[in-house]
Structure 1
Amino acid sequence: MPVASRAEVRAAALSDLAADRKAVVGVVLVNGLASAAGLVGPLLLGRIIDTIQAGSGDVLGAVDRLAFGALLFTVVQTVLSWWALKLGYRYGERTAARVRERFLRRTLALPPRVADHLPAGDLIARGSNDASLVAYTLRAAVPEVLVAIVHAVFLVVAVLVLDPLLGLCGLVCLIGVGAAVRWYLRRARPAYLAVAATSAEMADAVASTAKGARTVELLGLEQRRTEVTEAAVTRARSARLDALWLRTVLFPWSEIALALPVVGVLLVGGALYGNDVVSLGTVVTAAVYLRQLIGPLDTLMLWIEQLQGAGASYARVEGVGDIPQADAQVAQRVSDERIRVDNAHYSYTGVRDVLRGIDLSVRPGERLAIVGTSGAGKSTLARLLAGLDRPHTGAVTIGGTPVADLPPDQLREHVVLITQDHHIFHDTIRDNLLIAKPSATDEEMRAALDAVGAGWLDDLAEGLDTEIGTDATLDDAGAQQLSLARVVLADPHTLILDEATSLLDPRTARQTEQSLASVLQGRTVIAIAHRLQTAHDADRIAVMEAGQLVELGTHDELVHAGRTYGKLWQTWHAESDG
């Protein structure tokens, strides 16, 4: 999956800052006032030292007044700093929400044929770990980094104004900090991108193994999947150790470098004081300012390290916007309900066709079963018929219009693919149904649920406003019924069934099949038949073998022909009798 460039990340960050510019200006302004208030304390401390050293007049009264002033400005600085952080964190929460919503919009806008081919683990990692890290950084880094930068700038300027020579001495001693940061930044981005990529690879390996657990167990692939997962874990661990090594170099180096300005000013300032060039109070004030400078610089060093990881995550989150989109789809005129496949070829990799020269015409209102051995291309053909994929050559059309050219809202009015996978959102039943038909009334939604046998709705106190996962939990049968109710609301003329009940237990499968019966009535049905009994009941049967359509006809015709289907039927019939 694409990763955004530095320029794209920078543009996105600036856009997020500009979207809430008033808050950013407020944070900078209040931080400036807090930093200015913080400069007064060390200045008054220097005055106290010079007053005591002079020893003339009302020394005690002057010291008390100066000490009270230092205390007062310290309190003012504390209050202003708290206010600035409050403004900053509120800004961060709004911006974090903006980033998450942008990622979600981009992900949902991906055409199904594009989204289905993305690595699931990588997409999940970007939407969870990466988005969370970016959100945390925007909430915490923006206020803290702004505070640190403003505070550091004020302290440096204050030292230069207090005594230019001491100020220059302190700045020269900061070269070590700059060298440490430069060394780190040159190596950090590739290291953290590697951490994010290997973590996503590990998540994808675990997710794909868990999703295909039954297949893994059936084919005896446990050892191979274990090796794949362990290899992904090893790469992720190695990448994290590389990033950790950078930190073990950066932090000790920076800690030493941050102490050098104070040491340098005390040495040079001591020499200047000994030659009566500066006062003792000036040297102490400059040393205190530079000692205070360690705080914001230390904060910046910590955030520089964390911002590299966040920057890599930001690049991955923004990279979703660089995923190639399909051409903009506009409503098409569909003349009739006939589905045709003309000389269709399709390949997942572009190297080998998994479908070759498919010609098929589906009559409106008929029940067509597609049969064949595992890997024959049945499910791939179903995806082409449903418009989820586009043939590389040839065409799949509805009423003369390419199925893949229909926008999603128009496509689901014509054809819907039903598989064993169904997704129920943690939202109200109403909102789960409105996905299929946003204009549906309560009466239409209740009628759709009644049509699929979802009598459990009457047992819910909140009815359609029941929030799934909070007010109630649906079992597999209920979830499938809710999914089928969406189909009733969409009201397509053609339904494609691909293992719609294969993962359900027998009791739930029977309930779902009863619900399906009401949904299928009066529609064109294309069933990927994994049981020949299903094919026996169809009007016609299409037989797939090695990516080609090798037979087409009624059950009796194909059995009488004695070719591929006839042999399958005889084998299945003999096993059933046995």
Structure 2
Amino acid sequence: MNDLRFLLQLAGVRRRDLILSILAGSVTLISALSLTVLSGWLITRAWQMPPILDLGVAITAVRGLGISRAVFRYLDRLVSHRVALGATTRLRPALFQAVSTDPTGRAHTLSRGETLTRLGSDVDRVADFIVRSVIPAGVALTLSVLAVLGAFLLHPFAALMLAAGFCVTGLAVPWLVLRAHRSAQAVATADSFVTALDDQLLHRSEFAVAGLSSARIDATISASRRSSNALVKAERPLAWASLVEQLGVGFSVACILAVGLLFYPGEPTWLGMLILLPLAAFEAHGPLATAAIHAADARDAARRLRELTAPDTATGTLIPPTMEIEAAELELTRGEKIWNLTVPFGSRHLITGASGIGKTSLLLTLAGLIPSRSGQCTIGGIPVEQINPSWLREHVHAHPEDEWIFATTIRENLLVAAPMASESLMREVLDAVGLGAFELDQLLPAGADSLSSGQRRRLLLARALCSDAEVLLLDEPTEHTSHEDAQRFLNMLLEQPLPGARAERTVIVVTHEPEAAKPR
């Protein structure tokens, strides 16, 4: 099953919903096609000046088709957007549920911006795929078949010329546009101009002092020129696509006109319908170039979303006999430091160092959330990648510095880590971290923005202490607190009896402020 079909099923999009949307769009353009062909008949028939009653049905039909086209277009938009918006409404909760319950914790390998892109614009691209790719392609196919059949009834050669034109506008043009789109994406990915411009604007004072302003400006101009030239080259197929589309339509119309002149049976109405039929038939092929672009973008988005939700068949199944954590010659994906440490169960461990050496990556690696570059990380002698991920998520909790504060009550924010925590436990922990003045049912309407930076750190620390995990991995728990409070928190975490759900557990704390652990 391909990625797009998988996501459409996950979003609850049924085949009959898509067929109904395609039929609604097809009826709209069938009305337009019928209106054009009937108008051709009416014009040529009226030119023969028959009795007015002979034209009554045709005149009424033209008026009815003109009105029905707008009505059917409105119904088409209602039906298609109902399918697409319903899909996004079901898809986002399904993705969020899959990510939040994923025992492998793959979402931790993404930045917050990447996660927002997955659940935001990537889901929107799947909806765009329905409205701007699947439905237009289905409508174009339906109308093309009907138009060719109609042309065949007028003359077989006309049907052949019309089918050839449809192959050009429905296949060749979208292929050229998609090729240009892919080339433009590659150019944008490799574009160095934005980086050069950002450096020039951000560090212009330093460049001026160093006497490098002119050289850096010239380099930025050169990067801009290269970027523009590459983009023009990448989008050149768009010009060819436009030319091919116009030539395809014009050639088909000219050939059909030649068929009409060569095989004219002496009936003006036949000629009028034959000439106007291709002019209206190509209307359905107008959105196909854009449909190809949206389909390509949706395919990329679907691949990323499926990677986020697909079950990981490589997860481990073992359960460690003990909770001793050990890292041996561990090289992380970020930072150049090689880590070696042994942390027996129940011990407290403080890791200090400058920002950027990989302290946060170490915690995430110890928790089995991201892989290491080399070396080994074990719990109870078993490599973390071989441990059952569900067990690991339950017994080892990593609390990153940017952990989320939800726009709900303090109680609900604590229950995120400990769904079964009692009220007395939550009150004890809040008192321990200096938030005793807050009520459990106090609402945080703006999430983290409802608190100061120090209060946010205290609430996150309280959340960690409420959990029942045997191992707590805490990232910068004293950030944005005063020196006295930071020292008190570190003493509580490293020396004193722990408040919270477990008095005895392993605690590993990382901080870039070693002075916070030293009394003044």
Please tell me the TM-score bracket, short chain as reference: 0.7 to 0.9
On the 8 A contact 1:370/1:528 being kept in 2, the answer is yes
Aligned: 1:341 with 2:326: yes
| Structure 1 gaps, min length 5 | 1-6, 214-219, 538-575
Q: Distance in 2 between matches of 1:495 and 1:40?
A: 71
Q: Which residue number corresponds to residue 281 of structure 1?
A: 269
Q: Distance in 2 between matches of 1:120 and 1:527?
A: 22
Distance 1:428 1:253, change over 3 A: farther
On the 8 A contact 1:93/1:138 being kept in 2, the answer is no
On the 8 A contact 2:132/2:294 being kept in 1, the answer is no
- CA deviation profile, 1:205-235 (whole Å, cap 9, x unmatched): 89xx9xxx9xxxxxx9xx9xx9999999999
On the 8 A contact 1:384/1:396 being kept in 2, the answer is no
On the 8 A contact 1:111/1:325 being kept in 2, the answer is no
Distance 1:260 1:429, change over 3 A: farther
Q: Which residue number corresponds to residue 153 of structure 1?
A: 145
Aligned: 1:484 with 2:478: no
Q: Distance in 2 between matches of 1:228 and 1:437?
A: 55
Q: Which residue number corresponds to residue 543 of structure 1?
A: none
- CA deviation profile, 1:297-327 (whole Å, cap 9, x unmatched): 22223433444444444444445567x9474
Equivalent of 2:404, from 418, 423, 428? 423
On the 8 A contact 2:126/2:301 being kept in 1, the answer is yes
- CA deviation profile, 1:18-49 (whole Å, cap 9, x unmatched): 83223112223334444444454344434434
Q: Which residue number corresponds to residue 258 of structure 1?
A: 249
On the 8 A contact 1:37/1:73 being kept in 2, the answer is yes
Q: Distance in 1 between matches of 2:422 and 2:98?
A: 29
- CA deviation profile, 1:68-106 (whole Å, cap 9, x unmatched): 122123323432332122111111112334554565556
- CA deviation profile, 1:265-294 (whole Å, cap 9, x unmatched): 334323433xxx252111211222211123
On the 8 A contact 1:30/1:84 being kept in 2, the answer is yes
Q: Distance in 2 between matches of 1:85 and 1:30?
A: 8
Cα shift at 1:128: 4.6
On the 8 A contact 1:346/1:355 being kept in 2, the answer is yes
Q: Distance in 2 between matches of 1:239 and 1:131?
A: 30
Q: Which residue number corresponds to residue 62 of structure 2?
A: 70
Q: Structure 1 vs Structure 2: percent identity of aligned residues?
A: 23
Cα shift at 1:436: 0.7
Q: Which residue number corresponds to residue 247 of structure 1?
A: 238
In structure 2, the residue corresponding to 1:360 is in which secondary structure? Answer: strand
| AA aligned opposite 1:94 | G
On the 8 A contact 1:130/1:317 being kept in 2, the answer is yes
Q: Distance in 2 between matches of 1:30 and 1:373?
A: 62
Cα shift at 1:385: 4.8
In structure 1, the residue corresponding to 2:329 is in which secondary structure? Answer: strand
Q: Rg bigger for which structure?
A: 1
Aligned: 1:332 with 2:322: no
- The answer to which of 76-85 and 116-125 deviates more is 116-125
Q: Following superposition of structure 1 onto structure 2, how do residues 180-199 of structure 1 map, counting pairs within 5 Å? A: 180-181=172-173, 184=176, 187-188=179-180, 190-191=182-183, 194=186, 197-198=189-190
Q: Distance in 2 between matches of 1:233 and 1:511?
A: 51
On the 8 A contact 1:44/1:70 being kept in 2, the answer is yes
Give me the TM-score of the superposition, normalised by structure 2: 0.74
- CA deviation profile, 1:400-424 (whole Å, cap 9, x unmatched): 6666655566446644445543322
Count of residues in Structure 1 that have an aligned counterpart in Structure 2: 499
Distance 1:91 1:320, change over 3 A: same
Aligned: 1:396 with 2:404: no
In structure 2, the residue corresponding to 1:457 is in which secondary structure? Answer: coil
Q: Distance in 2 between matches of 1:103 and 1:244?
A: 35
Give me the TM-score of the superposition, normalised by structure 1: 0.68
In structure 1, the residue corresponding to 2:251 is in which secondary structure? Answer: helix
Q: Following superposition of structure 1 onto structure 2, how do residues 23-62 of structure 1 map, counting pairs within 5 Å? A: 23-49=17-43, 51-56=45-50, 59-62=51-54
Q: Distance in 1 between matches of 2:165 and 2:361?
A: 67
| AA aligned opposite 2:75 | W
Q: Which residue number corresponds to residue 415 of structure 2?
A: 434
RMSD value over aligned CA atoms?
4.9
Equivalent of 1:501, from 478, 495, 500? 478
On the 8 A contact 2:80/2:131 being kept in 1, the answer is yes
Q: Distance in 1 between matches of 2:89 and 2:342?
A: 48
- The answer to which of 296-305 and 112-121 deviates more is 112-121
Cα shift at 1:194: 2.3
Q: Distance in 2 between matches of 1:295 and 1:318?
A: 35
Q: Distance in 1 between matches of 2:59 and 2:168?
A: 35
Cα shift at 1:474: 2.0
Distance 1:265 1:484, change over 3 A: same
- CA deviation profile, 1:220-277 (whole Å, cap 9, x unmatched): 9xx9xx999999999987775555333232123313322333333334323433xxx2
Distance 1:172 1:430, change over 3 A: same
| AA aligned opposite 1:347 | E
On the 8 A contact 1:331/1:407 being kept in 2, the answer is yes
Cα shift at 1:184: 0.9
In structure 1, the residue corresponding to 2:263 is in which secondary structure? Answer: helix
Aligned: 1:272 with 2:259: no
On the 8 A contact 2:316/2:385 being kept in 1, the answer is no
On the 8 A contact 1:265/1:283 being kept in 2, the answer is no
- The answer to which of 433-442 and 85-94 deviates more is 433-442
Aligned: 1:293 with 2:281: yes
- CA deviation profile, 1:138-168 (whole Å, cap 9, x unmatched): 3444444433433333223222223333333
| Structure 2 gaps, min length 5 | 204-209, 499-503
Q: Which residue number corresponds to residue 468 of structure 1?
A: 446
Q: Distance in 2 between matches of 1:480 and 1:282?
A: 80
Equivalent of 1:167, from 159, 162, 167? 159
- CA deviation profile, 1:339-359 (whole Å, cap 9, x unmatched): 2537x2223369x99537x46
Cα shift at 1:435: 2.3
